[in-house]
C-alpha cells in the first residue's frame, strides 16, 4: 500500500428543489406519488413535445456554482448526451458538455482544498422497479422522476482516501442545505454519488486506469465502496492483472463492487448542442443579484464563531453543521447577552454546552429539526437566567427543559408546578442545618478538630433534608453555623 497513491474523483448528483421539472411543467414533487402520475408528453418524450428551460432551476444552479467558489459561465447551453437506457425515454439525456453553468471551483475539507472541475445542469432519469408478478420476474418503469432538475458536481481527482471522499461528500451536502436549493435527502434519491477510483505508483504523475462506481446513496456506502475498490485494484495489480476502465455497482448486501459495463468516454455519448433549447446568457448583474441571496456559508460562519465566541474547533463544527442549529444558537445568545448587558463571548460557552448537550440529544431522540422544537430561544433564555440567579439548579434545569420540550410551557410555570425552585432563604436553611448539627454531634466535633471531610458529610445530610436547597447559599450558612 505504501508503494501506491490512491486517486479519487467524485461526481455528485443533486436534485434541485423546484415546483416543476427541468424542461416541462409537470410537478417535480414526485416522491411517494402513484407511479407515472407526474408526467406529461415532454418528460415522456412523446412525438412533437418540446422542452422549455426552468429558470428557477438555472438560478439554483448558479447558487450552487457560487457556493462552490466556481466561475459562472455567463453563456452556457444544453447538449444531448446520447445513450440508451430503459428509464431514459428519449434515448438521450439533456445535459451540458463544453459550456456548463459553472466551472473551476473548490471547497475546503479540513485543511485540504478539493478542486471542482465543473457543475453542470441536466435532467434526472426515471426509475426501474424490479418485481415478481404471478411468478414472473419483471421490470417496471416509473417516469415520475424523469426530467427532475439535477445538477452534477464533478471534482478533480484530488481525493486521496475513502474517508476524505466521505468528508468531501458531507461538505457538499452541507453546502446544498445551507443555500436552500436542495433537500439532499438520500433516502429519496435527492443526492447520489459516482466515485472514480484509480491506483498509481507513488509519486507517478500519470494517473492509473479509473474505475467508476455508480449510484451510491449514503456516506457510509461511499466509504465502504471506495475502500473495497481500492483493495480490489491493489490485489489485481499485485497479481499482475491489468485494470480495465469500466463501470461497477456497489452491492451493499455483499459488501463488494460488481462489474456492470465497460466505461463509455465522451465520444461514445456523441454530445451535440440541443437544437430545441436556445443557449442561455446570464449577464453579470443577474449573477450578482443571485449572489446577494446566498446566506453566510459554513466556512465563513466557522471563522466568525471562532473569532467572536472563542469556542474550540469541535464545538464550532457541531454548531455550524446545521444552519438552523447555528441560527438558533446565535438567536439565544443574542437575547441572553442583551438581557444581562454583557458581551456574547462571556455567555457563548454556556449556550454552546446546552445546545451540544440537551438540545442535540432531544433533536436526535425525537428525529426533528431545531425549528420544530417547542422551545423558542426566548423561553430557553429565561431558563438560563433562572440558573444564573440560583432559582433552579443545573440538574433541575435539565428536567425543566425536558418538560418545556414536551409541553411547550414556559420555565416559570414548570418550576412552580414541579416545585423545583431552589431554597435560598437563610432562615429556612438555618433551621434545617441546626437540626442536622444536633443529630450529628460527632461529625461537628470532628470538623472543629480539623477533619475537613466531616464538612462534606454534614453538607450532604443537610442537602438530603432540605430538598431543593441552593447549594451555594447552603454552604455559606453551614459554615457560619459551624463557627
* 17, 176 Cβ separation under 8 angstroms: no
d(Cα 408, Cα 375) in Å, to the nearest integer? 6
**What is the reported pLDDT for 175?**
98
Using the 8-state DSSP alphabet, how is residue 137 labeled?
E
Residues 6+ apart with CB under 8 A from 376: none
Helices 298-309/313-321 angle, 10° precision? 130
Per-residue pLDDT tens over the stretch 57-72 = 999 999 999 999 999 9
Per-residue pLDDT tens over the stretch 157-188 = 999 999 999 999 999 999 999 999 999 999 89
**What is the reported pLDDT for 426?**
42
For the chain, give every residue range classified as CATH 1.10.10.410: 426-482
**What is the reported pLDDT for 429?**
54
**What is the reported pLDDT for 236?**
92
Cα R_g (the chain), whole angstroms: 31
Residues 6+ apart with CB under 8 A from 367: none
Give the chain's residues under pLDDT 70: 1, 263-265, 421-434, 436-439, 443-444, 446-447, 449-450, 452, 454-455, 458-483
Cα separation values, 353 from 217, 358, 359, Å? 33, 8, 9
Grid cell digits, residue 361: 440529544
Residues 6+ apart with CB under 8 A from 36: 142, 143, 144
* 8, 165 Cβ separation under 8 angstroms: yes
Q: In 3D, which of 23, 20, 88, 22 has the Cα closest to residue 52?
A: 23
Grid cell digits, residue 134: 404471478
**What is the reported pLDDT for 463?**
65
Q: In 3D, which of 87, 72, 174, 181 has the Cα closest to residue 126?
A: 87
Grid cell digits, residue 419: 416545585
β-pairing, 71-72 vs 102-109, is antiparallel
d(Cα 304, Cα 180) in Å, to the nearest integer? 21
**What is the reported pLDDT for 415?**
87
Grid cell digits, residue 376: 423558542
* 213, 229 Cβ separation under 8 angstroms: yes
CATH number for the domain whose boundaries are 426-482 = 1.10.10.410
**What is the reported pLDDT for 442?**
74
State phi, psi for 337 to the nearest 5 degrees: -70, -35
Residue 320, Cβ neighbours under 10 Å: how many?
22
DSSP letters spanning 24-83: SSSBS--TTSPTT-S--TTTTT-TT------HHHHHHHHHHHHHTTPEE-SEE--EEEE-
DSSP letters spanning 290-308: HHTT----HHHHHHHHHHH
* 250, 229 Cβ separation under 8 angstroms: no
Q: In 3D, which of 380, 402, 385, 393 has the Cα closest to residue 329?
A: 380
Q: Sign (positive/negative) of CA torsion 319, 325, 326, 329? A: negative
β-pairing, 211-216 vs 246-251, is parallel
d(Cα 12, Cα 63) in Å, to the nearest integer? 16
DSSP letters spanning 150-210: EEEEEE-S-B-SHHHHHHHHHHHHHHHHHHTS----GGGTSEEEEEEEEEEETT-SS----
**What is the reported pLDDT for 263?**
64
Indicate the pTM of the whole model: 0.86
**What is the reported pLDDT for 388?**
87
Amino acid at each position: 500500500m505504501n508503494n501506491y497513491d490512491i486517486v479519487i474523483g467524485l461526481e455528485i448528483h443533486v436534485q434541485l428543489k423546484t415546483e416543476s421539472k427541468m424542461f416541462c411543467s409537470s410537478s417535480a414533487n414526485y416522491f411517494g406519488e402513484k407511479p407515472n402520475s407526474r408526467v406529461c408528453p415532454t418528460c415522456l418524450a412523446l412525438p412533437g413535445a418540446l422542452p422549455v428551460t426552468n429558470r428557477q432551476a438555472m438560478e439554483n444552479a448558479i447558487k450552487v456554482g457560487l457556493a462552490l467558489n466556481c466561475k459562472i459561465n455567463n453563456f452556457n447551453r444544453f447538449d444531448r448526451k446520447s445513450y440508451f437506457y430503459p428509464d431514459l425515454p428519449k434515448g438521450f439525456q439533456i445535459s451540458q458538455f463544453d459550456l456548463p453553468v459553472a466551472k473551476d471551483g473548490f471547497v475546503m475539507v479540513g485543511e485540504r482544498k478539493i478542486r471542482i472541475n465543473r457543475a453542470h445542469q441536466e435532467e434526472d432519469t426515471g426509475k426501474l422497479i424490479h418485481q415478481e408478478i404471478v411468478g414472473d420476474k419483471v421490470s417496471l418503469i416509473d417516469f415520475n422522476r424523469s426530467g427532475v432538475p439535477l445538477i452534477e458536481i464533478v471534482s478533480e481527482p484530488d481525493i486521496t482516501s475513502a474517508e476524505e471522499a466521505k468528508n468531501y461528500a458531507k461538505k457538499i451536502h452541507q453546502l446544498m442545505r445551507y443555500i436552500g436549493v436542495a433537500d439532499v435527502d438520500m433516502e429519496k434519491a435527492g443526492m447520489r454519488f459516482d466515485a472514480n477510483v484509480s491506483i498509481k505508483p507513488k509519486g507517478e504523475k500519470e494517473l492509473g486506469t479509473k474505475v467508476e462506481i455508480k449510484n451510491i446513496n449514503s456516506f457510509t456506502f461511499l466509504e465502504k465502496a471506495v475502500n473495497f475498490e481500492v483493495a480490489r485494484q491493489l490485489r489485481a495489480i499485485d497479481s499482475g492483472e491489468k485494470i480495465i476502465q469500466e463501470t461497477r455497482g456497489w452491492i451493499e448486501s455483499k459488501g463488494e463492487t460488481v462489474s456492470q459495463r465497460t466505461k463509455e468516454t465522451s465520444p461514445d455519448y456523441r454530445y451535440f448542442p440541443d437544437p430545441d433549447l436556445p443557449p442561455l446568457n446570464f449577464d453579470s448583474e443577474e449573477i450578482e443579484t443571485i449572489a446577494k441571496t446566498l446566506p453566510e456559508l459554513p466556512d465563513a460562519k466557522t471563522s466568525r464563531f471562532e473569532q467572536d465566541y472563542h469556542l474550540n474547533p469541535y464545538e464550532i463544527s457541531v454548531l455550524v453543521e446545521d444552519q438552523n442549529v447555528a441560527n438558533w444558537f446565535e438567536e439565544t445568545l443574542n437575547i441572553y447577552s442583551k438581557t444581562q448587558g454583557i458581551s456574547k463571548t462571556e455567555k457563548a460557552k454556556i449556550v454552546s454546552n446546552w445546545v451540544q448537550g440537551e438540545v442535540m440529544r432531544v433533536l436526535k431522540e425525537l428525529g426533528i429539526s431545531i425549528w420544530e422544537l417547542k422551545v423558542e430561544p426566548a423561553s430557553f433564555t429565561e431558563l438560563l437566567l433562572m440558573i444564573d440567579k440560583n432559582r433552579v439548579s443545573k440538574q433541575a434545569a435539565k428536567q425543566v427543559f425536558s418538560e418545556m420540550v414536551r409541553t411547550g410551557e414556559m420555565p416559570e410555570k414548570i418550576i412552580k408546578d414541579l416545585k423545583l425552585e431552589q431554597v435560598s432563604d437563610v432562615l429556612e436553611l438555618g433551621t434545617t442545618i441546626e437540626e442536622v448539627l444536633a443529630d450529628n454531634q460527632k461529625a461537628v466535633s470532628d470538623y472543629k478538630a480539623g477533619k475537613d471531610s466531616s464538612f462534606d458529610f454534614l453538607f450532604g445530610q443537610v442537602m438530603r433534608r432540605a430538598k431543593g436547597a441552593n447549594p451555594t447559599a447552603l454552604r455559606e450558612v453551614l459554615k457560619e453555623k459551624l463557627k
